[in-house]
Amino acid sequence: MATHDNDKQHLSGLFEVGAERLKLIGDNAKVLMQGYLTGGIDPAAVNERTLRRLISARVLYQPDDSHELKLRHPVTQLIAALVTDESRRAIHADIADKLVAIRGFVEGLREAQRMGDSLRVDSQMLRIDEAVYDLTAQFEEAIYSLWHRLNSNFGFVSNLSDKIRENERAQQQIKRLIDGMSLIDFDELIELAEGHPTLRKILVSRLQQQMSAHHGSLLEVQKRLVELMTRFREQQERSLLVLNMAGFLREHPGFMVGDYSYRSQVPALVNHAAPIVPAAAVGLDKNEQLSDVTALVHALYQELALKRKTDSVSVSADALQGSVQSSAQQQAVEARQQQLKEDAMRYFIHVCEAPEPPSALAFLAAEELQWPPEVWLFQVLGEYNALPRHEQKLFTITRDERRISTFNHVHIIEDLAVRFQAA
């Protein structure tokens, strides 16, 4: 009973302090908003008593005597989120920390259930619900912030360099969101919620539904980003062409564009016109050509009749031969695919046995396998992804990649290194 009373007193104290400080922020809303816009607050604009209360409530602070009063970072972030000011807004989604907190709350719930403390059970359940909501809200806020950036900073900047920088920022934020989502292990959450329907609904059903929605939103963001970058690259190509031409003209001020139609030797870059084929026709109104036309028509009918007879005889033989060849080709393809799969599995077995296993291409060369390198790397990667999840954890796969160009974010896999790690 004493524990229950202490919890009630603690909640009552939090309620009173929170309500008092929110009211304090509301009473001084205009002063705080002015400080947000200007970057500082003049002490003369607030009476001394209110100023002390704002400082003690950790709403304002003064770095030193030579600086004016400033809003603390949490207050600045709250205002930026409320007014959708993306230039000063920061999203920090520490997913690992939130997952650790959820595990701790679940352990506290189990402990309270064993002790029969119903009030603590309800309190821990409320904390778990709030933690899951906070976890999904972080992703929702980050995706919303990214949408706003694509439709404002990213799409309406002054020059191409700023567009490329905004693209880098958006790509990094998408990568952080994907990495954060990958930390959520639903198998572990199912084990945590085992035997508790309400907990399973919060940790598994609701969280999985919301994560699926966030994945869909993130996919739409990526589509929009690719669409915008395609336009920007087209603009960049035109800009580079104009800049290079301008530089050439500066180096050769006397350059004059010639008329290529008057040249006998036309450059291959310009000479792309298709040749003109002159039209020809029989003059049916000329009597002297009538006998020739009649002979041509009779010869054409005879040739067509002969061709129909030949085709009717050979069509059945061709169909039979085609079916036999198709069956043989299908069997050959299946055998080749099976051999490629077996060679890939031999590579995985060799990785488990060898003290210093070679890379995929090194194994291909050592075994003198007659597979194209690209096909071989794709098969090794496919075999790794096809393994069950508990078997994938026994291997680590490292990609040797290279970037195509400075203006293209596509990476090409040069080689794969698979390593076996015993459990």
pTM of the predicted structure, to 2 decimals: 0.42
- The upper half-sphere exposure of residue 192, i.e. CA atoms within 13 Å in the direction of its Cβ, equals 23
393 or 269, which is more confident: 393
CB-based contacts of 84, cutoff 8 Å, min separation 6: 148
The predicted structure's pLDDT at residue 295: 82
412 burial level (CB within 10 Å; 0-12, 13-18, 19+): exposed
Q: Which residues pair with 399 in a beta bridge?
A: 416
d(Cα 183, Cα 127) in Å, to the nearest integer?
20
Q: How far apart, in whole angstroms, are the C-alpha atoms of residue 363 and residue 198?
A: 52
**Does 303 score more than 70 pLDDT?**
yes
Confidence of residue 12 (pLDDT cuts 50, 70, 90): confident
Residue 324 clears pLDDT 70, i.e. is over it: no
Of 227 and 151, the one with more pLDDT: 227
Rounded to an integer, what distance in angstroms lies between the CA atom of residue 125 and that of residue 110?
A: 10
- pLDDT grade, residue 9 (50/70/90)? low
Cα 2 to Cα 8, 16, 197, distances in angstroms: 10, 21, 30
Distance, in Å, from the CA atom of 418 to the CA atom of 399, rounded to the nearest integer, reads 9
Query: Would you kindly state where each structural domain of the chain is located, as residue ranges?
Result: 7-71, 82-251, 354-420
Alpha-carbon 236 to chain mean position? 23
CB 128 within 8 A of CB 199: yes
Find which of 91-95, 120-124, 262-266, 323-327 is predicted with most confidence, using mean pLDDT: 120-124
- The larger pLDDT score, comparing residue 369 to residue 63, is at 369
> For the segment 125-170, what is each residue's pLDDT rounded down to a tens digit?
888 888 888 788 778 878 887 887 777 666 566 666 777 777 777 8
Percent of the chain at pLDDT > 90 equals 0
d(CA 17, CA 240): 61
What's the pLDDT at 136? Answer: 82
CA distance readout (Å), 400 to 154, 360, 386, 418: 31, 11, 21, 11
How many CA atoms are closer than 13 Å to the CA of 238, on its beta-carbon side?
Answer: 6
E strands of 140-199, at which residues?
A: none
